[in-house]
Amino acid sequence: MAVPIAVLDCDLLLYGRGHRTLDRFKLEDVTDEYLVSTYGFPRQFICYLVDLLGATLSRPTQRSRAISPETQILAALGFYTSGSFQTRMGDAIGISQASMSRCVANVTEALVERASQFIHFPKDEATVQTLKEDFYGLAGMPGVLGVVDCTHVAIKAPNAEDLSYVNRKGLHSLNCLMVCDSRGVLLSAETHWPGSLADCAVLEQAALTSQFETELHKDGWLLGDSSFLLRTWLMTPLHIPETPAEYRYNMAHSATHNVIERTFRTIRSRFRCLDGSKGTLQYSPEKSSHIILACCVLHNISLQHGLDVWSAPATGHMEQSEEEYEQTESVDSEACRVRQELLLTHFS
**Do residue 267 and residue 124 come from a single domain?**
yes
CB 321 within 8 A of CB 227: yes
Residue 284 domain boundaries: 119-308+329-347
CB 90 within 8 A of CB 96: yes
pLDDT in tens, 282-310: 999 999 999 999 999 999 999 999 986 55
- What pLDDT is recorded for position 316? 45
Residue in 72, 118, 127 with CA at minimum distance from that of residue 302 = 118
**Do residue 226 and residue 102 come from a single domain?**
no
Name the stretches of the chain with pLDDT < 50: 1-24, 62, 64, 311-318, 321-328
- What pLDDT is recorded for position 310? 54
**Do residue 182 and residue 106 come from a single domain?**
no
**Do residue 266 and residue 149 come from a single domain?**
yes
CB-based burial label for 266 (10 Å; 0-12, 13-18, 19+): buried
What distance in Å separates the CA atoms of residue 216 and residue 207, rounded to the nearest whole number?
13
Q: What is the DSSP letter of 216?
A: I
**Do residue 138 and residue 237 come from a single domain?**
yes
**Would residue 131 count as lying in a domain?**
yes
**Do residue 32 and residue 138 come from a single domain?**
no
**Would residue 20 count as lying in a domain?**
no
**Would residue 5 count as lying in a domain?**
no
**Would residue 13 count as lying in a domain?**
no
CB 188 within 8 A of CB 271: no
What distance in Å separates the CA atoms of residue 289 and residue 153, rounded to the nearest whole number?
9
**Would residue 135 count as lying in a domain?**
yes
pLDDT in tens, 231-249: 999 999 999 999 999 999 9
- What pLDDT is recorded for position 276? 77
**Would residue 262 count as lying in a domain?**
yes
CB-based burial label for 309 (10 Å; 0-12, 13-18, 19+): exposed
**Do residue 217 and residue 277 come from a single domain?**
yes
**Would residue 341 count as lying in a domain?**
yes
**Do residue 141 and residue 98 come from a single domain?**
no
**Do residue 111 and residue 35 come from a single domain?**
yes
What distance in Å separates the CA atoms of residue 120 and residue 3, rounded to the nearest whole number?
59
For the entire predicted model, the pTM comes to: 0.87
**Do residue 206 and residue 151 come from a single domain?**
yes
**Do residue 101 and residue 146 come from a single domain?**
no
* Number of structural domains in the chain: 2
Listed in sequence order, the DSSP H helices in 58-144 are 69-82, 87-93, 97-113, 115-118, 125-139
**Do residue 142 and residue 277 come from a single domain?**
yes
CB 304 within 8 A of CB 176: no
The one-letter amino acid code at 278 reads: K
